[in-house]
């Protein structure tokens, strides 16, 4: 008993102390037994040593039994050698040991819990095997020995020994076993009224016993005959103990009663005991034994019921706790979560009588850390961070979703050093850890621990703990999700507020649900319908309003993948340009995101760039014209010369006597034609020199090229260059600005002629070809027979200020390229196989007819 | 018998106007659109004067002059041109051209030049 309740420091001498305790108990029991016997007969009327041995064997592992039996031997010898012959002493020790062995082995074999007497089957097995069969069997050799050596009556010895051992077994074994198993702390922990009740019971029982057995005058008169009536006085007290104090209390009372009765029965007569007194004691033994058996069974039944109802009550308490816990956590906002956790750890600990409750959560920021919140009585919960590697074994178990149940520090595996150290440090006796699981993930663990052996955590408790862990786990999971959601909401609003262009989010109906800080569109606030807003601007006269509304509606209806739109709005001081982009919102409910950007600066820059480009183009056109001035003069002088000569001829005809009016008429019509011809030349010239805005129209490239070739006809003539024109059969309709495209062709033709200035006259041929490629592209090539492009200069040709001409500015091809790019076309140059170069441009064909 | 004047110009309108003018002054006139046409005709030998455009398509006026001088049967030539080119004018005059007129020219200037050509020859 001492060893069982001793703490860990005394473990070293625990077995030795137990052995000593057994020896001492055996000796004391034997001395007591000697006192309670009727010499010269050998058997005692109450023989405790055998029961002490039985209790010892029940409480100790089988492999150590020999040790305890051996420890009892010196006590046996010391007690009996002075009284009995040595041979008998050794023989009796053998029969005593045999009885204890039969009882302990039988109980271990037949009972599911040999050291417990709290159910009827366990009690019945104990009574039948431990209290009846073992003394019954062992009494035969015992009586035979005594008869043989001492010469006493076999039947008397057997009978005395059997009943004395039955009585001792019935009373002492349960008392000793339960005292050792449950220990004294139970008594200390009991409430004061229990102590009072126990005191009352003890004094009542003592008085009743004394009244029954204590009066010597009455004792002699006839216990055997009138036994039933007086014993009835004891029964209420024994029942009381059975009902209120269980098998343990009852057995203590029975021991006390038996001792008192036997002492009373034997003490009076002293050593001059009569046969009649011995008979009376025997009757007492039988009486107490027969009374003890049903009482013990009754106590067991009551204990069984009590335990069942206690288990039920515990379960109810656990269930109630669980439901209150669930209720507390189910609607808890995530910000309150950890405070509530701390509070409930304490409540769990207090209600369940635990010494420590710990929740360990894997850190969300560092995967190899645990945030540990531990509760202990009267200690506030303080979160601490523990590295997983410090508790590797427990960490592994948790991650494998294992429940850890440690009944004793010895249950820990050898490699769980850190955990064992913690057990020692905090004085933990038993501990259960269940994983906190959320779906596939383990969030951490919930641990409960006790520091005393008598409150060791039982297996059913871990099932309940898993339910608690489920509540905590789902609460933690929800907290994590809510935190993540809040973080994502925060991120979203941060993004919205930091956008420089105005952004609005629409639902599927077009209603604005969120806007960025920079969203300043008048009349379009959160809650209003943006499509309707545009329709209203359309109704108010803004021409682009309906286009915008239709575009947004198409994106909302998932008919378009996106919609981009530019429009002008007049603010009080100046016209401003806005670009609006609408993209679908990628979520099941639909919707769209509108992005508004003020593109006024970009627009202005574009307009400026456009203007500079046009001015530059005009400038190059003018300078090209300057170069062509002589040939243009030629072109103009021809009709002028014809007109002058015709007019002067006409005057001469009129001076004649009979003017030839027919000839004069045809002269006049020639003059009209030539005048028109001159007008056309001037018109074409003016057209080319015009400094106009870009005007995109559908035009036929073939016709355009013919015009330019015609315009350059005089130039070619003067330069002695032959022009070969090979146009495609079908019209090549393109969309473009006539002047700009003419400029490109003019530029290529003038370049081609320039390139051949140093060539012999007969070689000066410019071939102009137009063709339709792959049905979608018009291609124009201008081939010359000049020196071609110098190696390595292909890339530079179209760069600004690149020129090979002494008076060139180097802008012609650069402008041609930008014109082509603006028309969605390309311009490039290659060298011909024989000699010279070919400059080509290509642009997309359009459907329709030239305007 | 009127003197035969051959006019060679690739501009049809100019050609027609000059033919009318010379015709009104009672010249015999033959008009040609190109040097080749002239060379191929029977009139090249009878021409008393050539009114020749410098910038002809095909063989130019100067080339025709050169060729006629080489064959030794070159009538006096009055050059006309719509494009005033100093190099061409000097070359024509060195080769013995009677005159070099810039279009548009006055009728009197042309007739003067033709008369000088006919008298000189």
Of B20, B57, B84, the CB nearest to A649: B20
If pLDDT is split at 50, 70 and 90, which confidence band does A34 have?
A: confident
CATH of A499-591, one of 2.60.40, 3.30.70, 3.40.50, 3.30.450: 3.30.450
Q: Note the pLDDT tens digit of each residue in A424-435.
A: 887 888 888 889
More confident residue, B61 or A351: B61
CA–CA separation, A427 vs A449, rounded Å? 10
Chain B residue closest in CA terms to A718: B55
If pLDDT is split at 50, 70 and 90, which confidence band does A270 have?
A: very low
Asked if B85 has any chain A CB less than 8 Å from its own CB, the reply is yes
CA of A778 vs chain B CAs: smallest distance (Å): 31
Task: Report pLDDT for A668.
Answer: 94
Judging by beta carbons within 10 Å of its beta carbon (0-12, 13-18, 19+), is residue A62 exposed, middle or buried? exposed
- CATH hierarchy code of domain A694-851: 3.30.565.10
More confident residue, B27 or A614: B27
Task: Report pLDDT for A278.
Answer: 63
For chain A, give the mean pLDDT: 82
Task: Report pLDDT for A224.
Answer: 43
**Structure-token pair, residue A212:** 């029954």
Task: Report pLDDT for B33.
Answer: 93
Q: Which residues of B touch A667 (CB under 8 A)?
A: 17, 20
Q: Note the pLDDT tens digit of each residue in A657-677.
A: 888 889 999 999 999 999 998
In degrees and rounded to multiples of 5, residue A747 shows phi and psi of -60, -45
- Asked whether this chain's domains A331-485 and A499-591 adopt the same fold, the reply is yes
- The residues pairing with A476 across neighbouring beta strands, listed in sequence order, are none
**Cβ-defined contact of A641 to B104 (cutoff 8 Å):** yes
Q: How far is CA A258 from the centre of its chain?
A: 68
- The residues pairing with A502 across neighbouring beta strands, listed in sequence order, are A596
CA–CA separation, B68 vs A82, rounded Å? 180
pLDDT at A269 over 60: no
How many CB atoms neighbour CB A452 within 10 A? Answer: 15
What is the rounded average pLDDT of the residues A249-276?
Answer: 65
Chain B residue closest in CA terms to A641: B104
Torsion angle, alpha carbons of A56, A59, A65, A70, to 10: -30
Distances (CA, A) of A6 to A13, A217, A646: 10, 49, 147
How many CB atoms neighbour CB A655 within 10 A? Answer: 9
Q: Determine the 3-state secondary structure of A683 from DSSP.
A: helix
Task: Report pLDDT for A189.
Answer: 64
Of B25, B83, B104, the CB nearest to A631: B83
**Cβ-defined contact of A642 to B14 (cutoff 8 Å):** yes
CA–CA separation, A252 vs A240, rounded Å? 12
Task: Report pLDDT for A399.
Answer: 87
CATH topology for the A331-485 domain = Beta-Lactamase (3.30.450)
Which sequence spans correspond to the domains of chain A?
A: 13-309, 331-485, 499-591, 599-692, 694-851
Chain B residue closest in CA terms to A653: B24
What is the rounded average pLDDT of the residues A540-554?
Answer: 84
What is the 3-state secondary structure of A93-124? HHHHHHHHHHHHHHHHHHCCCCCCCCCHHHHH
Chosen for mutation from B10, B11, B21 (greatest number of chain A CBs closer than 10 Å) is: B21
CA of A631 vs chain B CAs: smallest distance (Å): 7
CA of B11 vs chain A CAs: smallest distance (Å): 7
The answer to whether the beta carbons of residues A472 and A200 sit under 8 Å apart is no
Domains of chain B by start residue, with CATH: 4-120 (3.40.50.2300)
Q: Note the pLDDT tens digit of each residue in A764-791.
A: 999 999 999 888 899 999 999 999 888 8
For chain A, what is the total number of helices (H) and then of strands (E)? 25, 18
Chosen for mutation from B15, B16, B20, B113 (greatest number of chain A CBs closer than 10 Å) is: B20
Q: Which residues of B touch A648 (CB under 8 A)?
A: 21, 106-107
Which residue has tokens 């036997």?
Answer: A262
CA–CA separation, A183 vs A166, rounded Å? 25
Alpha helices in A216-274 (DSSP H): 216-222, 228-267
pLDDT at A185 over 80: no
Which ranges of chain B have pLDDT less than 50?
Answer: none
Q: Which residues of A touch B11 (CB under 8 A)?
A: 638, 641-642
Out of A114-128, A611-625, A656-670, which region has the weakest mean confidence (pLDDT)? A611-625
Alpha helices in A656-737 (DSSP H): 661-689, 701-711, 713-719
Which residue has tokens 């279009």?
Answer: B103
Chosen for mutation from A632, A635, A640, A642 (greatest number of chain B CBs closer than 10 Å) is: A642
CA–CA separation, A298 vs A247, rounded Å? 8
Handedness of CA A378, A383, A385, A386 (dihedral sign): positive
Q: At CA A286, angle to CA A284 and CA A288, rounded to 5?
A: 65
Task: Report pLDDT for A231.
Answer: 65
Out of A473-477, A577-581, A682-686, which region has the weakest mean confidence (pLDDT)? A682-686
What is the rounded average pLDDT of the residues A626-642?
Answer: 83
Most confident of A188-192, A256-260, A271-275, A280-284: A256-260
If pLDDT is split at 50, 70 and 90, which confidence band does A321 have?
A: confident
Residues of A with CB under 8 A from a CB of B: 630-631, 633-646, 648-650, 652-653, 656, 663, 667, 670, 673-674, 677, 714, 717-718, 720
Q: Determine the 3-state secondary structure of A443 from DSSP.
A: strand
Task: Report pLDDT for A177.
Answer: 86
If pLDDT is split at 50, 70 and 90, which confidence band does A148 have?
A: confident
Task: Report pLDDT for A830.
Answer: 92
**Cβ-defined contact of A649 to B82 (cutoff 8 Å):** no
Reported ipTM: the value is 0.95
The answer to whether the beta carbons of residues A790 and A729 sit under 8 Å apart is no
Task: Report pLDDT for A645.
Answer: 94
Chain B residue closest in CA terms to A670: B13
Which residue has tokens 């259960």?
Answer: A432
Q: What residues 26-45 of chain B have any CB closer than 8 A to a CB of chain A?
A: none
């Amino acid at each position: 008993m001492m060893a069982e309740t001793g703490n860990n420091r005394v473990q070293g001498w625990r077995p030795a102390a137990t052995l000593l305790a057994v020896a001492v108990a055996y000796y004391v029991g034997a001395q007591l037994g000697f006192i309670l016997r009727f010499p010269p007969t050998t058997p005692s009327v109450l023989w405790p040593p055998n029961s002490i041995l039985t209790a010892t064997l029940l409480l100790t592992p089988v492999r150590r039994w020999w040790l305890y039996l051996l420890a009892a031997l010196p006590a046996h010898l010391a007690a009996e050698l002075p009284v009995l012959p040595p041979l008998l002493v050794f023989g009796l020790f053998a029969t005593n040991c045999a009885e204890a062995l039969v009882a302990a082995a039988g109980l271990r074999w037949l009972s599911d819990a040999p050291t417990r007497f709290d159910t009827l089957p366990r009690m019945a097995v104990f009574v039948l095997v431990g209290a009846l069969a073992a003394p019954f069997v062992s009494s035969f050799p015992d009586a035979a020995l005594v008869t043989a050596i001492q010469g006493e009556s076999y039947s008397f010895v057997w009978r005395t020994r059997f009943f004395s051992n039955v009585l001792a077994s019935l009373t002492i074994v349960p008392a000793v076993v339960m005292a050792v198993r449950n220990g004294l702390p139970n008594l200390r922990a009991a409430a004061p009224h229990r102590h009072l009740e126990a005191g009352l019971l003890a004094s009542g029982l003592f008085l009743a016993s004394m009244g029954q057995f204590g009066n010597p005058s009455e004792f002699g008169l006839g216990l055997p005959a009138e036994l039933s009536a007086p014993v009835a006085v004891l029964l209420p007290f024994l029942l009381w103990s059975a009902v209120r104090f269980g098998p343990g209390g009852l057995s203590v009372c029975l021991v006390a009663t038996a001792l008192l009765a036997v002492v009373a029965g034997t003490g009076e007569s002293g050593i001059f005991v009569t046969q009649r007194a011995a008979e009376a004691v025997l009757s007492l033994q039988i009486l107490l034994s027969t009374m003890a058996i049903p009482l013990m069974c009754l106590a067991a039944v009551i204990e069984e019921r009590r335990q069942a109802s206690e288990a039920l009550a515990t379960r109810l308490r656990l269930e109630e706790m669980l439901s209150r816990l669930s209720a507390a956590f189910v609607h808890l906002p995530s910000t309150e979560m950890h405070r509530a956790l701390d509070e409930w750890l304490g409540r769990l600990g207090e209600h369940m009588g635990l010494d420590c409750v710990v929740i360990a959560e894997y850190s969300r920021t560092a995967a190899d850390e645990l945030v540990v919140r531990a509760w202990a009585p009267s200690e506030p919960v303080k979160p601490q961070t523990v590295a997983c590697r410090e508790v590797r074994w427990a960490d592994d178990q948790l991650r494998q979703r294992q429940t850890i149940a440690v009944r004793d520090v010895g249950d820990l595996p050898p490699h769980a050093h850190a955990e064992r150290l913690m057990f020692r440090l905090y004085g933990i006796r038993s501990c259960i850890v269940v994983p906190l699981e959320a779906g596939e993930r383990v969030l951490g663990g919930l641990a409960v621990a006790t520091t005393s052996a008598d409150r060791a955590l039982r297996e059913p408790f871990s099932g309940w703990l898993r339910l608690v862990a489920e509540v905590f786990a789902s609460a933690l999971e929800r907290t994590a999700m809510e935190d993540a959601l809040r973080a994502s909401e925060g991120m979203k609003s941060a993004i919205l507020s930091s956008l420089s262009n105005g952004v609005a989010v629409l639902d599927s109906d077009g209603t604005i649900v969120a806007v960025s800080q920079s969203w300043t569109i008048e009349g379009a606030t959160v809650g209003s319908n943006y499509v309707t807003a545009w329709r209203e601007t359309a109704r108010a006269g803004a021409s682009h309003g309906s286009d915008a509304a239709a575009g947004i509606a198409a994106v909302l209806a998932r008919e378009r993948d996106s919609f981009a739109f530019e429009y002008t709005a007049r603010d009080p001081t100046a016209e401003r340009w806005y670009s609006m982009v609408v993209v679908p919102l990628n979520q099941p409910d639909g919707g769209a995101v509108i992005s508004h950007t003020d593109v006024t600066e970009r627009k202005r820059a574009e307009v400026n760039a456009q203007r500079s480009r046009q001015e530059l183009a005009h400038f190059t056109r003018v300078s090209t014209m300057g170069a062509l001035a002589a040939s243009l003069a030629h072109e103009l002088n021809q009709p002028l010369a014809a007109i002058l000569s015709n007019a002067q001829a006409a005057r001469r005809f009129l001076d004649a006597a009979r003017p030839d009016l027919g000839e004069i008429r045809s002269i006049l019509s020639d003059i009209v034609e030539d005048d028109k011809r001159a007008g056309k030349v001037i018109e074409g010239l003016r057209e080319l020199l015009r400094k106009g805005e870009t005007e995109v129209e559908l035009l036929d490239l073939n016709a355009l090229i013919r015009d330019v070739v015609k315009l350059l006809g005089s130039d070619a003539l003067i330069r002695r260059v032959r022009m070969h024109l090979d146009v495609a059969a079908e019209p090549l309709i393109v969309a473009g600005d006539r002047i700009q495209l003419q400029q490109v062709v003019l530029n290529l033709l003038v370049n081609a002629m320039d390139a051949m200035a140093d060539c012999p006259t007969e070689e000066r041929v410019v071939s102009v070809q137009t063709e339709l490629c792959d049905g979608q592209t018009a291609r124009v090539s201008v081939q010359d027979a000049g020196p071609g492009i110098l190696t390595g200069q292909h890339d530079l040709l179209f760069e600004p200020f690149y020129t090979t001409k002494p008076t060139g500015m180097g802008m012609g091809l650069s402008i041609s390229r930008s014109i082509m790019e603006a028309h969605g076309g390309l311009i490039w140059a290659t060298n011909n196989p024989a000699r010279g170069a070919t400059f080509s441009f290509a642009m997309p064909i359009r459907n329709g007819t030239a305007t | 018998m009127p003197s035969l004047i051959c006019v060679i110009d690739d501009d049809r309108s100019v050609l027609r106007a000059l033919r009318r003018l010379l015709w009104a002054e009672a010249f015999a006139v033959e008009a040609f659109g190109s040097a080749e046409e002239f060379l191929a005709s029977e009139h090249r030998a009878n021409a008393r004067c050539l009114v020749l455009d410098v910038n002809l398509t095909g063989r130019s006026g100067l080339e025709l002059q050169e060729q006629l001088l080489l064959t030794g049967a070159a009538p006096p030539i009055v050059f006309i041109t719509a494009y005033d080119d100093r190099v061409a004018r000097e070359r024509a005059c060195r080769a013995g051209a009677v005159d070099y007129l810039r279009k548009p020219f006055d009728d009197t200037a042309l007739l003067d030049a033709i008369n000088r050509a006919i008298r000189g020859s």
